[in-house]
Amino acid sequence: MNFLAQQTPMLQNKIKSLASAYKEEVISFRRHLHAHPELSFKEFETATFVANKLKEFGITEIESKATTGWSALIKGKNPERKVVALRADMDALPIIEANEVPYKSQNPGVMHACGHDAHTASLLGAAKILNDVRDQFEGTIKLIFQPGEEIIPGGASLMIQDKVLENPRPQAILGQHVMPFIPAGKVGFRSGLYMASTDELYLTITGKGGHGAMPETFIDPVLISAHLLVALQQIVSRVANPKIPSVLSFGRVEALGATNIIPNEVKIQGTFRTLDEAWRAKAHQKMRQIAEGIVEGMGGKLDFEIRKGYPFLKNEPALTARTMEAARSYLGAENVLDLDIWMAAEDFAFFSQEVDGCFYRLGTRNEARGITSGVHTPTFDIEEEALEIGSGLMAWLAVSELSST
């Protein structure tokens, strides 16, 4: 019987007790971060706040990574035995908050509308718990606080370049993300393929502008764009294997003409997402071929930029099975849900491409209190009672994984 197996019941109870004792403190962390959001790669005050808290907890092995990121180590008994990493993201979004709450954003036009404040607060809470019980587990826990999840190239990729997964290298990494469609008190997991890759599409269609009453004198980039938008949908409907989830969406079309003015150019922005890397590459090629054929065939010129973003996210099956079992032990089986594929993207995928990863969801919904808005909306908020699970469960999953062989 290994060290943790002997300690398991007592250690789980201790972690639960500490999570309850520190809940109000973790809520205060979240409220401070929510009131002071910072955009991707500009998380200067956030990074300072995180580092100061880690030092207050007595965690001294802290290292700066990738602009505003941090890594830190909590060493238990026999620290060389195994290393498990825990990750949280810290950046906010360019959204004007509509909530009237005491912790409303004080930075105009910037809001924690994706729950990264809750992720950072939860990991701080887990860090405090784990440091308190470090003499009751074997191995090392690496804390990763990363910047810039919301924009390409993603803070995870930059932290990996900055060797956050080295010295020591973790054998597994766990990440947690709020989910406003799951009730507070529950968590969700999916084994295998879970989230999509994401690419940003930027198209400029150039024609020849003119007076709307004289169509014979111009090359209409608006009409070309209309044909193009419709034609590109065949990438998903007729070119893609229907067994491979794919999404192609265009959210911005800019044609700065008027009722009787045809502009010289039209700019289009969109996103392409899928769960297969070979098809992803083929889709890029096919999109260019279709777009070039239509635009040039109608007399225009095309500039088509594809900014390759995050890869698809895959939860390693054996790690996910162990993590789910540990979550059932901590919360009860009825509070651990199976999730479906989600076509949103997450730069945690970069970590999971390097080491075994498990990215799971923390329920934060409370219909009775009207906390139901989705992420990336001006009214997004969380049920803060969920932060007790957010910190305690993360700590428990870490020590449970350290005990696995």
Strands 356-365 and 172-183, sheet pairing = parallel
For CA atoms 350, 134, 320, 392, the dihedral sign is negative
- Interatomic CA distance for residues 173 and 144, integer angstroms: 10
Reduce the DSSP state of residue 186 to 3 states and report it: coil
* Structure token digits, residue 94: 């360019």
- Interatomic CA distance for residues 67 and 330, integer angstroms: 36
91 is catalytic: yes
Decide: 122 and 19 in contact? Cβ < 8 Å. Answer: no
Would you tell me the crossing angle of helices 3-21 and 386-403 to the nearest 10 degrees? 170
149 is catalytic: yes
Determine if the peptide bond prior to 170 is cis (ω within 30°): no
Reduce the DSSP state of residue 50 to 3 states and report it: helix
Catalytic residue among 89, 91, 383, 388: 91
Residues 6+ apart with CB under 8 A from 341: 190, 193, 194, 195, 196, 245, 275
Of the chain, the end-to-end C-alpha distance in Å amounts to: 12
Closest CA relative to residue 175, chosen from 189, 165, 164, 186? 189
Decide: 346 and 149 in contact? Cβ < 8 Å. Answer: yes
DSSP calls for 51-98? HHHHHHTT---EEEETTTEEEEEEE-BSTTS-EEEEEEE---BS----
- Interatomic CA distance for residues 346 and 307, integer angstroms: 15
Catalytic residue among 38, 97, 132, 149: 149
Reduce the DSSP state of residue 13 to 3 states and report it: helix
Catalytic site residues? 91, 149
